[in-house]
Structure 1
Amino acid sequence: MYIKQSACISPQRTFDNGFLEGNVASYKGIRYQAIEPEYNGLIPAGLLRRMGKAIRMGVGAGLPLIKETPVDGIILGTANGGLEDCLKFLNQIVDYNEGTLTPTNFVQSTPNAVAGNLALMSKITGYNTTHVHNGLAFEAALLDAWMLLQEGRAERLLVGTVEEISDYNHNIDSLGGSFKKGDFTSEELFTSNTPGSVNGEGAVMFVMEESRSAESIARIVDVDQTSYLPESGLHDRIQSFLAKNGLTPEDIDTLFIGISGDSRTDYLYTGMREKLFGGSNCYSYKNFVGDYPTASAFATWLGVQMLAGKKLPDQCKYAFSEEKEPRNILIYNHFKGLQHGFILLGAS
C-alpha cells in the first residue's frame, strides 16, 4: 500500500512547512492544543461557524487532499472525535428538560461525523467508515484500507485520524491519573520521571493506493496490532512481525517510539529499544503533540516526511548514532501499556 499525499494539523505548525523548517512550539502544562490553519476559502463560512473542532480539523486536513486527488472511499480512526459535541448535546437534554434542542451538537456528536462531512462536501459516495478502537483505531483503519485495496474494491482511499481534547474527558482522565501534575515544559517531559503524560489532539490524513506510481512517496509495508502482552511477549511479537516481512531488528535503520514521559509505562519503549534496536536511529514525537490514542498517525506522518527526503527537527532525535538514509522505518506505539500497534514503513 503506497502513500501518495499527506496532510497534518497538530499542536505544531505541520499544516505548512513551519515545523519541518525548525519552528518547534514549546508547551507548558498538560494540554497541547492544535494549531489550526485558516479555513477561509476551504470551508464555507456558514458551515465553519457550526463545526466542532474535530470536524474542523478533519475537514481541514482531508478536503484539500481530496480536491487534489479524487478518492473512492474514506476510512478514519478516532477515539475521542465528536465527544465534545456529544457531551454538549447530553447537557442540552438536561438544561432544556428534553424540550426543543439545537440540532448542530446532535449531528456532530458521533465519531463518524468527520468522515460524513468529508463525503458530503466532496460528493464521495463510496466506502465510508470510522474505526473507534481507542489506541488501535489508526492501525485498524490501515488494515481496513489494505484489505479494501487488495480486494480491488477501490483504487485510492483517504485514510486518517482525528482527535480532540474534550474538556469533560480530559477532566475524567486527569482524575484517573493519566496526566502529570506540577509545572513543567515539553522539553522536560521525558526527564520528569513521574507518572502520567500530557494530552494532545490533531488530524492526520493520507491518500493511499494499492500500486506504486510516479507520485508515491512512501510505502506501508505492514501493520500489526495486539493487546495485553507482557514485555517478553512484546519483544517476541516485534521480531515475528519483522521476520514475516523478511527483516531482522538490525535491518531497521529508523525507529519511532511513543515514549510519553509516563514513568509507569515508558520502560516498554526503552527496554525494547535497548534490547532489539541499539543500532537504530530513534525518534520521539509525543513531546511535540502530546499523548492521545491515535498519536501513531502523527509518527507515520513524520516517517513519510523522512522518506520524502525531508529532515526532521533535531528535537525529534531521542537516541541518534549517525546520519542514515531511511529505508526501513518501524513505528511502535502503545496506549496505556495495554494496546500495542506496529507500523512498518518503507521507501516507495
Structure 2
Amino acid sequence: MSAVYINSAACISVQDTLNDQFFQNLQPVYSPQVLKAIEPIYKEFIPPAMIRRMSKTVKMSSVASNQALKEAEIEKPDAIIVGTGIGCSQDSEKFLKNVLDNNEEFLTPTFFIQSTHNTVAGQIALGLQCHGYNFTYVNTSSSLEFSFLDAKLQINDGDAENVLVGSTDEQTERTMELYKLNETIKKEENLPADYLNSTTDGAIWGEGASFFVLGKDKTESAYAQLKDIQIINRLDLDETSKFIEDFLVKNNLKTNDIDVVMLGFSGDAKSDVYYQKASELFTSSSLLYYKHLSGEFNTASGFSTFMACHILKNQEIPNVMMINDLKKGEIKNILLYNHLGGNDHSLVLLERV
C-alpha cells in the first residue's frame, strides 16, 4: 500500500482550537456535566441567510472543513467522508417535537430533511459543488476511524488523490437529559471528575468537529503519515494487550518504538480499565490523555487525532496532557487508542513526516 498523508487538520472543540495559539492555552475542565464547544463567529465563514437553516453540527463542520481545505490549498477534494455518532440530533429532536405538538399533521419537512446523519457530508459537498464520492459512517466511537480507513482505500486504489475526512457530533437538550438518567454522563455529586483514577461511572460530555485532508502526496503543510488503523467492536479486558501487540507486529514495531501513546481516559471507572491495561505495555513511551480537554463524545478521537498531528509537527507535548513524566528527544510514532464505554475499540498509528 502506498503512503497516505494528513496534509491539514482543523478542529472546533471545547478548547479554542481555531486560534493559532491554542496549543499553549489548553484549559482542562473537571466540573460541568456537559461541555459546550467554543464556536466561531459563523457569519465570517458562512452567508447569514444560510446560517439560520443550519444545525450546530452542520455549522461547525462547514467551518472546520473550510479551514482544512484552505490549509491544504485545495478548492475541491476528490471525495468527502464524514464520521458521526449521533448525527444531526438537534434537527431530529425538532422534527419529533413537531410531530407531537401538531398531532402528526401539517409538518414542515425541513427538520426531517436535515435530520439525517449524512446531512453534514451533503451540505459540504453542495457548498463546494463537489460531485465526487460522498459517504457518511455512523459507527459510534469508531466513526472517524472507519472514515480514515475508507479514505486510505480510496487513495491506495487510485480512486482519489485528496480526500476530505471529518468527524462531528453535537449536543441536544433531550439527549443530554437521557444520558444523565442512564448515567452515561457523570452525576453532579461525583464531580469534579478524576480522569485518571476515577472510582465512579459516567463521563463529562463534550462535542466538536474535526476535519482533515488526506492525500497521496506529502505537501509542505503535512502533519503526519497515516500508517495504519485497527478496529474491533468487542474486546475482553484480558485481550487488550494482545490486540495492541498484534497491531504493532503487523506494522513491524515494538512497544518501545512508540514515542507517544494517547489514551482516551474519560473518568468512567467501568471502562477506563482498558486504558490502564494498555498503559502497562508502554514503559518507555510518553503517556497522554485528552478527554479532560475535549469531554467524552462519540467522535472525541477527532480531537485526539488533531492534537497528535500538532504534537508531531511541533515536536512538543503540552504538559497538561501528560500522564507520566517521560519525554523523548524526537517524536516519530504516535499510537492513539480509543473506545466508548468499553465498546468499539480503535487503534490509529501516525508517523512523523
User: Does residue 5 in structure 1 map to residue 8 in structure 2?
Assistant: yes
User: Using a 3 Å threshold, how does the CA distance of structure 1 residues 244 and 114 change in structure 2: closer, same or farther?
Assistant: same
Contact 1:257 1:283 (8 Å CA) reproduced:
yes
Correspondent of 1:24 among 24, 27, 30: 27
Map of 2:159 onto structure 1: 153
Correspondent of 1:306 among 303, 308, 311: 311
Contact 1:29 1:184 (8 Å CA) reproduced:
no
Secondary structure of the residue aligned to 2:43 is coil
Correspondent of 2:57 among 49, 54, 57: 54
User: Does residue 346 in structure 1 map to residue 347 in structure 2?
Assistant: no
Contact 1:73 1:126 (8 Å CA) reproduced:
yes
Correspondent of 1:36 among 36, 39, 53: 39
1:187 Cα offset (Å): 6.8
- Deviations along 1:132-158, whole A, 9 cap, x unmatched? 011111111011101111111111010
Residue type of the alignment partner of 1:101: L
Secondary structure of the residue aligned to 2:229 is strand
TM-score normalized by structure 1?
0.95
User: In 1, distance between residues paired with 2:112 and 2:192?
Assistant: 35
Secondary structure of the residue aligned to 2:271 is coil
User: Using a 3 Å threshold, how does the CA distance of structure 1 residues 282 and 217 change in structure 2: closer, same or farther?
Assistant: same
Map of 2:17 onto structure 1: 14
TM-score normalized by structure 2?
0.94
Map of 1:75 onto structure 2: 81
Residue type of the alignment partner of 1:236: K
1:175 Cα offset (Å): 1.6
1:22 Cα offset (Å): 2.0
Contact 1:252 1:280 (8 Å CA) reproduced:
yes
1:227 Cα offset (Å): 1.9
User: CA RMSD for the aligned pairs?
Assistant: 1.7
Map of 2:300 onto structure 1: 295
User: Does residue 327 in structure 1 map to residue 328 in structure 2?
Assistant: no
Correspondent of 1:134 among 125, 140, 153: 140
Correspondent of 1:223 among 205, 224, 229: 229
Secondary structure of the residue aligned to 1:264 is helix
Residue type of the alignment partner of 2:161: E
285-294 or 186-195: bigger deviation: 186-195
Map of 1:196 onto structure 2: 202
| Gap regions ≥5 residues in structure 2 | none
Residue type of the alignment partner of 2:39: E
Contact 2:35 2:205 (8 Å CA) reproduced:
yes
State percent identity of aligned pairs.
35
Secondary structure of the residue aligned to 2:309 is helix
192-201 or 131-140: bigger deviation: 192-201
User: In 1, distance between residues paired with 2:193 and 2:320?
Assistant: 9
Secondary structure of the residue aligned to 2:323 is strand
Count of matched residue positions in the alignment of Structure 1 and Structure 2: 347
User: In 2, distance between residues paired with 1:257 and 1:25?
Assistant: 16
